[in-house]
Amino acid sequence: MVIFREIRVITKEVNIVMLINKTIYLLMVVIAFLGLVYAGDYDSDLKDEEKDKGMDYTTTMVWLGMDPGGRPAGMGKAFTSISDDANATYWNPAGLGFLQMREVNFMHEPRSFEGGNDDLGGMFYDFASFVFPAGKLGNLGIGFLYHDHGKSEARDDQGNLIGIIHSYAFSPSISIGRMITKTISVGTTFRYAYEHLTDDAKMNTYAFDFGFLMRPEFAKGRFGYAFVLKNIGE
């Protein structure tokens, strides 16, 4: 009787773990699906008079694709199938599932140009991320991107200088990654993005990432298989 009771308890615990796993996977799929459904949905604060001038702002948010991280940059951006540090919050959230400890990452990249007006320039790009274990949920990651577009001259139709414009953008994000087997992990990221070009040209949006990463045992860490859907909804 004691043996049967122990078996029942173990079976019950296994069923609970399986239920938690299925719930997490379903949540990730739902998040990715919602990103696809609402793709392209964003809120723009451009004024009507700016739109009437035929100004095209469809190329904004390009800074989201500047690929942060010193290590990924040094590897020629071939980091999607590796993603074994805190940079995974940007490159492939599935990589978070394989991490074993807390990690912090920070990058600062000046992008200023030399010469010209001393009041202009000042461009730079910052990225920070923090990853920590979250028990049965997997590993969580928090990221923050900031791009200072620098300062530029504002001129009227006659070319007269009327002021200096300071443009910038930022994007906080939250990621989760979890192993579903010893060799496979999945993950997702939700990010909010805001860009301030001028006082009359401000916009914000949100986006999702969904990642998959497999590290076959026979590869012994030499390579992996991965794919990522990035900025769904941007």
Q: What pLDDT is recorded for position 114?
A: 55
Q: Which tokens sit at 209?
A: 């990432």
Least confident of 102-116, 137-151, 212-226: 102-116
Q: What pLDDT is recorded for position 47?
A: 43
Mean pLDDT for all residues in the chain: 77
Q: Identify the domain containing residue 118 by its residue range.
A: 2-232
Instruction: Kindly indicate the confidence band of residue 33, based on its pLDDT and cuts at 50, 70 and 90.
Output: low
Q: What pLDDT is recorded for position 173?
A: 95
Strand partners for 166: 151
Q: Which tokens sit at 219?
A: 């590869």
Burial class (CB in 10 A: 0-12, 13-18, 19+), 198: middle
Q: What pLDDT is recorded for position 135?
A: 85
Q: Taking the complete model, does pTM exceed 0.75, yes or no?
A: no
Task: Report the distance separating Cα 195 and Cα 234, nearest Å.
Answer: 12
Structural domains counted in the chain: 1
Task: Write the pLDDT tens digit of every residue in 68-125.
Answer: 888 888 888 888 888 899 999 999 999 999 998 999 999 988 876 554 444 556 788 8
11 or 103, which is more confident? 103
Strand partners for 184: 214
Greatest Cα pair distance, the chain, in angstroms, is 94
28 or 158, which is more confident? 158
Instruction: Kindly indicate the confidence band of residue 24, based on its pLDDT and cuts at 50, 70 and 90.
Output: low
Angle (CA) 27 30 31, round 5°:
85
Q: What pLDDT is recorded for position 2?
A: 46
Q: Is residue 7 scored above 50 in pLDDT?
A: no
Task: Report the distance separating Cα 212 and Cα 229, nearest Å.
Answer: 9
The residue-averaged pLDDT of 56-61 equals 58
Task: Report the distance separating Cα 206 and Cα 172, nearest Å.
Answer: 10
Q: What pLDDT is recorded for position 117?
A: 47
Q: What pLDDT is recorded for position 103?
A: 93
31 or 193, which is more confident? 193
Least confident of 146-155, 180-189, 205-214: 146-155
Q: Which residue has the tokens 């074993």?
A: 100
Q: Which tokens sit at 34?
A: 């919602």
Task: Write the pLDDT tens digit of every residue in 173-186.
Answer: 999 999 998 899 99
On whether the CB atoms of residues 71 and 86 are closer than 8 A, the answer is no
Specify the 3-state DSSP secondary structure of 159. Answer: coil
